[in-house]
Amino acid sequence: MLFPRAAGILLHPTSLPSRGGIGDLGPDAFRFVRWLADAGMKIWQVLPLGPTGYGDSPYQCFSAFAGNPLLIHVPDAAACGHEGISASAETCDFATVIPAKRARLNAWLDTLPYDDAVHRFVRQQESWLPDYALFMALKDVHSGAAWTSWERGAARREPEALHAWREALRPAIERCYKEQYVWFGQFHALRAACAAHDIQLMGDVPIFVAHDSADVWANPSLFKLNDDGSLIVQAGVPPDYFSATGQLWGNPLYDWDAMARDGFRWWIARMRAALAMFDLVRLDHFRGFEAFWEVPATDTTAVHGRWVQGPGAALFTALTSVLGPMPIIAENLGLITPEVEALRTQFGYPGMAILQFAFEDPASAFLPHRYERELAVYTGTHDNDTTIGWWQSTGTGDSTRLAEDLAREKAFARQYLHSEGHEIHWDMIRAAFASVANTALVPLQDVLGLGSATRMNLPGRPGGNWNFRFTWDQLPAAITTRLRELAQTYGR
């Protein structure tokens, strides 16, 4: 699918300013849309928007279909006696925010009627919402424990047990229905505002889902699990730039044979839901659809995994036959083989190039003069350091590369960008915008020139991620004008 020449910003909604300690889908999100338009941007890319679980990661969600209730904007007038959340304006302290936000949200939801509009919404979402609402209610009853440790009837989804639990937990289930009704209402209002300002909303579909999720609990036959629901094998990636021992993600792996037997029904439903929400979709870890790194469930690193053949073209043929051509950008980073690239090009999905990786080798395909038009270029992604942090790195942090390697890399970057590095973030933005790649995306931290402390995620770090927030005083008119002029200069 052809993408028009455009530039955009990568910013997760949790990073927006707000009075609630965490960004949400309220007034500041609408203000951000207006800022994007003023800055000449055409795309707003977000991370996955599902309800977060382990490590507050948007890539470890309790559902691939539900919205994260922490993103619901609770009107100040509807606080129901609950005070605002005292928190830093620059970071999200999830340990403080989650219980406080949940208390305010629940108090407000309890004042809202369970009316015909909610009934209609539940019927429209019946393929996933009843299971999700029961799953979350059961988690609360079991003190947040993973579903594999629930009482047997609930864990094994015995029909009589589920019926009894649905009756016993009806108030919590109906509150969850209202929560998701409100979430989707606020989300679609924001998407309408994006459309009114000629901003395309770009979502993110992770290849894998969390083990402790309604998706796995409700569909255990589609995953490689033992009879008790525990993992047989888990997902990860081999040693790479980010980690000498690889990345161990802990997600269950799909039983692709079982999925193929029912025509990839679950994946068709997942992509249909994503395309109903977003104008564009970044498909995470595209490499894993051709072949994925399978690690024994008992391993503590990803070193001893193995490559296993994925569904390949069969999956995308099934998706396309039902959904038509899909506006997908394929995240083709890591150990990419000719077979992966053949699969991507067969279906016409643009790949990605990361400028922070471009200067490691003069022959790098990430150097702008080697780009093709159907490509999305980033200064960095949510998994990278900020551009300023990368430039200031001495090789003693997360990277597996040596200090002398980094010195050579930066010398080449100075030469290539014709830069002394004083405004390296703007030099990188200019290189991305000037390239022939049709899509250029920049994390907001790079527009603001922020350092490593504002990095969104450090792969492999169990905590302290995903908590960046910006403030409006960091976006003066001069930055807006400079970004808009670059977009105009390079036809974006």
Catalytic positions: 284, 331, 383
- Alpha-carbon dihedral of residues 427, 385, 390, 366, nearest 10 degrees? -60
Q: Is 157 exposed, middle or buried (0-12, 13-18, 19+ CB in 10 A)?
A: middle
Sign of the CA dihedral running 20, 26, 32, 38: negative
- The rounded radius of gyration (Å) of the Cα atoms in the chain is 22
Contacting residues for 224 by C-beta, under 8 A, at least 6 apart: 231, 232, 233, 252, 253, 254, 255
| CB 290, CB 337: distance < 8 Å | yes
Q: Rounded to an integer, what distance in angstroms lies between the CA atom of residue 305 and that of residue 136?
A: 32
Q: Is 248 exposed, middle or buried (0-12, 13-18, 19+ CB in 10 A)?
A: buried
Q: Please state, as a whole number, how many other Cβ atoms lie within 10 Å of the Cβ of residue 75.
A: 9
Longest dimension (CA), the chain: 70
Count how many Cα atoms sit within 13 Å of the Cα of residue 84 in the half-sphere of its side chain. Answer: 12
Closest among 120, 151, 135, 102 to 212, alpha carbons compared: 135
SS3 271: helix
Q: Rounded to an integer, what distance in angstroms lies between the CA atom of residue 264 and that of residue 314?
A: 9
Q: Is 156 exposed, middle or buried (0-12, 13-18, 19+ CB in 10 A)?
A: middle
